[in-house]
Structure 1
Amino acid sequence: MDQNTWSPIAKIYDPLMVGSIDTTDEEPHDHGIVRAMNSKYKPNKDVVGDPHKTIFVARLNPKTADETLHDEFSFFGEIKNLRLVRDIVTGISKCYAFVEYIDEKSAYRAQRDGNKMVIDGSEIFVDFELERNLKGWIPRRLGGGFGGNKESGQLRFGGKDRPFRPPITGNSDTRNNFTSDRSRFREESYNDKRNDKYSVSKRDKRDRSKDRSSRSREKRDRSRDRNKNKKHNHDRDRRRSRSQDK
């Protein structure tokens, strides 16, 4: 493999390639990959919005509501549209959502800094939408995607949370170059950089933490006020009742 063309992240979606830990497999190792290779999937034309301003949020807690997602992700910028995907029959959350922002900068920040946030006790996964951005994309239900687990034996590689590994073939210098490329790619793509015009400063993160604390205090204050009002109304009704009895 040419080290100049190798990348830890897939640039074009190829089922056989993403089914290989280092893109060197020549035959599919499970039936899902065969199904993806034979599928003629095309992106849904009914999907609206700008794919470059849309992020994909997965691994959500089934109890997480639309309002909670909106509160959490509005920190990164103004949200144009948010869709928490639900079962069409039961209405139960499928634990993933799509968030479209007004500008691309906000989407960039959200996919970078929102990844691995904890919402309702669940560590979430955030990336750009791939269906309309990655050529040849095949969803998981057709044997594609970048998901999977060791138990099922259907692992997929080349994604943000499971990048390709450098091929073990070739001499040591080649492997070292691959490893260096991978490290450099990760550093450029996912780490905070001082010169990145989209970077979120520590001050911004502290402000976000303060905002969360402020929202929590406001909720507690509102709850306390409601309880006081209930008690006041209850006491007033009791006094009226006693007066009428007399």
Structure 2
Amino acid sequence: MESWHPIARVYHPLTAGSIDGTDTRPHDRAVERAIKASYVPPSVDNDPHLTLFVARLNPETTEKTLRKTFSKYGDIKQVNLIRDVVTGFSKQYAFIEFEEERSARRARAEADQSVIEEHIVFVDWECEHTLDGWIPRRLGGGLGGKKESGQLRFGGRDRPFRKPIVVQAIRDRGIERDRDGGIERDRDGGIDRSRDRGVDRDRDSGIRDKDREIERDRGRENRDRDRENRDRDRGIERDRDRGIDRDRDREIERDRVNDFNNN
């Protein structure tokens, strides 16, 4: 717990794929692909420690707009808006290098979640050359990701790690088993197994409660279905009785007319 931090200081795909950074097995194939990947960041002519990553831009936003917007935080050395090599359309993210570190820090603090041309933008440090072990998104790594894809990545500013829940075992060798079923001593490690039993009981109780709820729902559905069938049968019976009554009335009326005509 002492080494835990919400922001990753060293990148590892398995850790980034975990909500609290404690996973021991990959939860999706992209993580497996990233673990096996070997990636060397390309050389660049800018200073990564003075460069900000700006994402979620409006597709119509240009380098000129970005320079004008971020120049209020300090002098800008260069703006690199990433475009598709075939279409030339913006990929909606860019890298902005400042002349001074204090300007970059100020822009990171103030520009994140600001609005540029009707889009709320995300601003953070450039990770590819500043975070050891970095694997890009196209290889299954990266940070962030959309919930719809199911390939969420954690440990970045946009989605930091959640603090893990740590349950510390009791290691008192002097605790004796309570005859009433309270505590059991682990002779090897002094671990309190009663907590495990409590967890198992709670889990079993939860399963039983869920089964009871399912049975109640099924019983309710069956009762409703039986009620509907009874109502339908009663309706059919009532309609049949009405039909019989109408036929009887017609016969009586016909007999009366015949008697009248005969007389």
Query: What TM-score, normalized by structure 2, do the two folds share?
Result: 0.63
Asked whether 1:115 is paired with 2:118, we answer no
* Contact persistence 1:140–1:147 (CA under 8 A): no
Q: Which residue of 1 aligns with 2:78?
A: 81
Identity of matched residues, %: 56
- Measure, in 2, the Cα distance between the counterparts of 1:137 and 1:22: 18
Q: Which residue of 2 aligns with 1:37?
A: 35
Aligned-partner residue type, residue 14 of structure 2: L
User: Where in structure 2 are the equivalents of 1:57-206 lying within 5 Å?
Assistant: 57-170=54-167
Q: Structure 1: state its 5+ residue gaps.
A: 172-246
Asked whether 1:14 is paired with 2:8, we answer no
Deviation at 1:147, TM superposition (A): 1.7
* Contact persistence 1:59–1:124 (CA under 8 A): yes
Aligned-partner residue type, residue 82 of structure 2: V
- Measure, in 2, the Cα distance between the counterparts of 1:7 and 1:65: 36
Higher Cα Rg, which structure: 2
- Measure, in 2, the Cα distance between the counterparts of 1:13 and 1:130: 9
Q: Which residue of 2 aligns with 1:48?
A: 45
Deviation at 1:152, TM superposition (A): 1.3
Q: Structure 2: state its 5+ residue gaps.
A: 169-263
How many residue pairs align between the two structures?
A: 168
Deviation at 1:169, TM superposition (A): 2.8
Larger deviation: 8-17 or 160-169? 160-169
Give the root-mean-square deviation of aligned CA atoms.
0.9
Query: What TM-score, normalized by structure 1, do the two folds share?
Result: 0.67
Deviation at 1:148, TM superposition (A): 1.1
Aligned-partner residue type, residue 15 of structure 2: M
Q: Which residue of 1 aligns with 2:3?
A: 5
- Measure, in 2, the Cα distance between the counterparts of 1:161 and 1:89: 30
- Measure, in 2, the Cα distance between the counterparts of 1:127 and 1:48: 19
Deviation at 1:4, TM superposition (A): 1.1
